[in-house]
A = this chain, B = another copy of it.
Amino acid sequence: MSKEIPYKIYLEESEMPKYWYNVRADMKVKPAPLLNPETLKPMTAEELGVVFCDELVKQELDDTTREYPIPQEILDFYKMYRPSPLVRAYCLEKKLNTPAKIYYKFEGNNTSGSHKLNSAIAQAYYAKKQGLKGVTTETGAGQWGTALSMACSYFDLDCNVYMVKVSYEQKPFRREVMRTYGASVTPSPSMTTNVGRKINEEFPGTGGSLGCAISEAVESATSKEGYRYVLGSVLNQVLLHQSVIGMECKIAMDKYGIKPDMIIGCAGGGSNLGGLISPFMGEKLRGEKDYQFIAVEPASCPSLTRGKYAYDFCDTGKVCPLCKMYTLGSGFIPSSSHAGGLRYHGMNSVLSELYDQGLMEARSVEQTSVFAAAQEFARVEGILPAPESSHAIRVAIDEALKCKETGEEKTILFGLTGTGYFDLYAYAKFNDGVMGDYIPTDEELQKGFASLPDLKI
């Protein structure tokens, strides 16, 4: 073990980050503002305050404050599962026989199984502080819903989760974790909201969709006294909370004098990637250091690599504000053969802008190669990775193998966002050799783009 770098680097309590870093503060060209879909004017704090908690609205709109002190109550909760370990992948390096040095930041060691808890606890805290009774949200397979239910349980907040009906029925495990933490979980579309009843009438027996669940959660939040809506990705406030990942990484690497040459993260809505790269991107934006950033997305849902940079709806129900982002169109639905998350049609607006400015690269990878990387990683590093996280593993391995060819001793850092305990149907498909790959055709993408709003702006 060279340079006496431990296998796992844990920060001490005294070394932990005390603030979140807002990368927008260092961007010369800021991300485009959210627009009111009716007036096409930037959303005001008042308008957003109907849906979101006041403090979160402030964070969402604030592109100038560089540092947000982390409230003590959140720091206390962090003690349960943070710091997350920064791991030197000695075993993977040995297996690949690469001169590259590989590090990963592992966010899966908490019951929600992923980094989602970082934002869930922040959003629950601000809801509690505002004196709210509870929050509503939507969830697909349940990662975000699980994280939120844990956070709400901690602050004794009511938590109502609209879960896509097909997941509610076919993937009952995360549903039960949420219920164990005291959340109410409603299959969506339900008969508890106008939009749910309407969709059930129009499409009897439908299994639902994330877009529909978002619409129900927003309607539920805005029609009940003392409730607000919360969202686990895509938003700028989420990136801010998730910056704790990158902050811990940077403190740990600085402590041991390690400078990553490239930083790799999987990208769905952008919450993990944005959080991981934020403080490093800050240095790049300020001209202090240079890094190569690589966003990895599924070939079946390629918003960065094949999407358009345009204003679009954040949800298929079109009840949310318009957001300028790399998008496949809110009408784009990834193939059902695609396993796991990273199936959002768009990308967080900060990351979209950074990508558009050429400050970050993007790659798309196919599903079977992702699971092959997951398996290879699991066998030597022990951790069973989530399919989402394995997108980053795939590219980290590819880059390490390139180093083997060239002899370069690059330092690679990637985000291992979570564990795959609830993704074993997908692993079974891979183990049985019946998993397929799917790349949408140009014609299929065109259908998605046709759903983009025609804004004339």
Contact of A424 among B80, B177, B381 (CB under 8 A): B177
A13-B6, A111-B419, A173-B424 as given contacts; A384 in contact with B79, CB under 8 Å = no
Q: List 14 A-B contacts (CB under 8 A).
A: A7-B13, A7-B79, A7-B80, A8-B79, A110-B382, A111-B378, A111-B384, A111-B419, A150-B382, A153-B379, A153-B380, A176-B431, A179-B427, A180-B378
Q: Closest approach, in angstroms, between the C-beta of A26 and any C-beta of chain B? A: 33
User: Is A181 within 8 A of B378, CB to CB?
Assistant: yes
A186 within 8 A of B: no
Q: Is the CB of A109 closer than 8 A to any CB of chain B?
A: yes
* Interface status of A154 (Cβ within 8 A of chain B): yes
In the bound complex, residues from chain B placing their C-beta under 8 Å from that of A113 are 421
Render A362-390 as a binary contact track against B, CB cut-off 8 A, 1 for contact: 00000000000011001111111000000
Shortest beta-carbon contacts, A-B, top 10: A7-B79, A173-B424, A176-B424, A421-B421, A153-B379, A80-B382, A111-B384, A179-B431, A176-B428, A176-B427
A residues neighboring B (CB under 8 Å):
6-8, 10, 13, 79-81, 91, 109-111, 113, 150, 153-154, 172-173, 176-177, 179-182, 374-375, 378-384, 419, 421-422, 424, 427-428, 431
Residues from chain B with Cβ under 8 Å of A153 in the complex: 378-380
Beta-carbon nearest neighbor of A174 in chain B: B424
Number of copies of chain A assembled together = 2
Partner of A427, one of B7, B180, B424, B431: B180
State the CA gap A308–B171 with chains docked (Å). Answer: 43
| Chain B: minimal CB distance from A389 (Å) | 13
Which B residues lie within 8 Å of A378 (CB)? 111, 153, 180-181
- Give the CA-CA distance A419 to B108 in the complex, in Å: 13
Least CB separation from A421: chain B residue: B421
How far does the alpha carbon of A13 sit from the alpha carbon of B383 in the complex, in Å?
20
A-B contacts besides A177-B384, A180-B431, 14 pairs, CB < 8 Å: A80-B382, A91-B154, A109-B109, A111-B383, A111-B384, A113-B421, A150-B382, A154-B380, A173-B421, A173-B424, A177-B424, A179-B427, A180-B375, A180-B427
Q: How many whole Å from A432's CB to the nearest CB in chain B?
A: 9
Give the docked Cα–Cα distance between A94 and B70 (Å). Answer: 23
Q: A176 — which chain B residues lie within 8 A by C-beta? A: 424, 427-428, 431
A92 shortest CB reach to chain B, Å = 11
Kindly list chain B residues whose C-beta atoms are within 8 Å of the C-beta of A80: 7, 91, 381-382
- What's the nearest-Cβ distance from chain B to residue A340, in Å? 14
B7 adjacent to A10 (CB under 8 Å): no
B111 contacts A382, C-beta separation under 8 Å: yes
From A180, A375, A378, A383, residue with most partner B Cβ within 10 Å: A180
B172 and A428: CB pair below 8 A?
yes
Of the candidates A91, A109, A382, A421, the one having the most CB atoms from chain B within 10 angstroms of its own CB is A382
Residues of B within 8 A of A181 (CB): 378-379
Residues in B whose Cβ lies below 8 Å from that of A383? 111
- A10 x B13 contact (CB < 8 A): no
With both beta carbons as reference points, the residue of chain B lying nearest to A381 in the complex is identified as B80
Residues of B within 8 A of A380 (CB): 153-154
Q: In the assembled complex, how far is the CB of residue A93 from the closest CB belonging to chain B, in whole angstroms?
A: 14
* A7 (CB) vs chain B CBs: closest residue: B79
Contacts of A179 in B (CB 8 A): 427-428, 431
Contacts of A421 in B (CB 8 A): 113, 173, 421-422
Once the chains are docked, how many angstroms separate the CA of A363 from the CA of B381?
39
Interfacial chain B residues near A10, Cβ < 8 Å: 10
Query: Which residues of B have CB within 8 Å of A81?
Result: 382
A7 vs chain B, min Cβ distance (A): 4
CB-CB under 8 A for A180 and B384, given A111-B419, A172-B424, A422-B421:
yes
How far is B177's CA from A13's CA once the two chains are assembled, in angstroms?
34
Cβ-closest chain B residue relative to A431: B179
Q: Nearest B residue to A112 by beta-carbon distance? A: B382
Q: Which chain B residues lie closer than 8 Å to A13 at the CB level?
A: 6-7
Measured in the bound complex, the distance between the Cα atoms of B378 and A421 in whole Å is 18
Q: Given A79-B8, A177-B384, does the pair A182, B111 have CB atoms closer than 8 Å?
A: no
Q: How far is the CA of A422 from the CA of B431 in the complex (A)?
A: 19
Which residue of B is nearest A153, CB measured? B379
Task: Provide the bound-state CA to CA distance between A182 and B154, in Å.
Answer: 39
